[in-house]
Amino acid sequence: MRFFISIFFYCTSVLALVSIAPVDIGSKPGLSGSISTSISSKRGNTVKDEYSFGGRIQYDEAIDYLIWGTLTYNYGESFGVKNEDKLYGHLRGIHSTGVNDLNSEIFLQSEQDTFRDIKGRSLVGANLRWRFLNSTEWGKSYLGVGALKEEISYSHSLDNPHENNSRINIYAAYTKKISATSKITYIGYYQPKFKDSKDYVASQTFELIIPIYGSLHLNTSAKHLKDTTPPLSVKKEDTAISTALLWEF
């Protein structure tokens, strides 16, 4: 237990963690969800505070559809100067097509990220999702293909003009239970513009969930994000390694 507590308070970076594992219609009927929190505070040669909060809610109708939504917030300061301020929300509906292992998806997303100069990014999209592996031994694998429409406004609008983009949306996901209550998950996204494939956003996320006690879990995640055409003065790539406590209900 002391090992887990040390990881929680001395994690490399703090990010609100809500499980990214893909879900299937009928896997958990009814209403369910999770809440996560992570707090890091350092004093001495380094003065640093980081806070993150996240929540996810899901309703599984069990036959035809499933709806889930998530909201996360991250805030950080170093020597009293803000160095992170990020808000993210996502809502997704999954509907059966009547064909085994093939579902349709629609989604809405909104985010703000001060240190990537994003005043607001909103998008709407749709996919077809194919579950091409469903094995107790080997886990589950998914492939999603679709499109999205995004609108981005920047804090420094003179340097970074308002954007309206149409993008292809492709993702691959894998999840596997490594015990009755522990699991690993990977999700990778690739989102190029329809008119310019060199302009794309790509992300990869690995997640490990380990039970601590009852419904309380330790959630560790590593994420890499790449934007080939970021706002002026913003780096093309971001990497985060994060640990949080996750309570499922």
**Tens digit of pLDDT for each residue in 78-87?**
998 999 999 9
Rounded to two decimals, the pTM is 0.88
- CA 142, 147, 152, 158 dihedral sign is positive
Ramachandran region, residue 194 (left: φ > 0; alpha: ψ -120 to 50; beta: rest): alpha
**Tens digit of pLDDT for each residue in 22-38?**
999 999 999 999 999 98
Distance CA 242, CA 235 (A): 20
Domain covering 2-248 in this structure, CATH number: 2.40.160.40
CB atoms within 10 A of CB 232: 10
pLDDT(39) > 50: yes
> For the CA atoms of the chain, what is the radius of gyration?
19
Distance CA 47, CA 136 (A): 47
Q: Tell me the domain boundaries of the chain.
A: 2-248
What pLDDT is recorded for position 128? 98
- Residue 9's pLDDT band, with cuts at 50, 70 and 90, is very low
What pLDDT is recorded for position 10? 37
Q: Please give the structure tokens belonging to residue 240.
A: 């985060």
Per the prediction, the chain carries an average pLDDT of: 90
* C-alpha 44: how far from chain center: 33
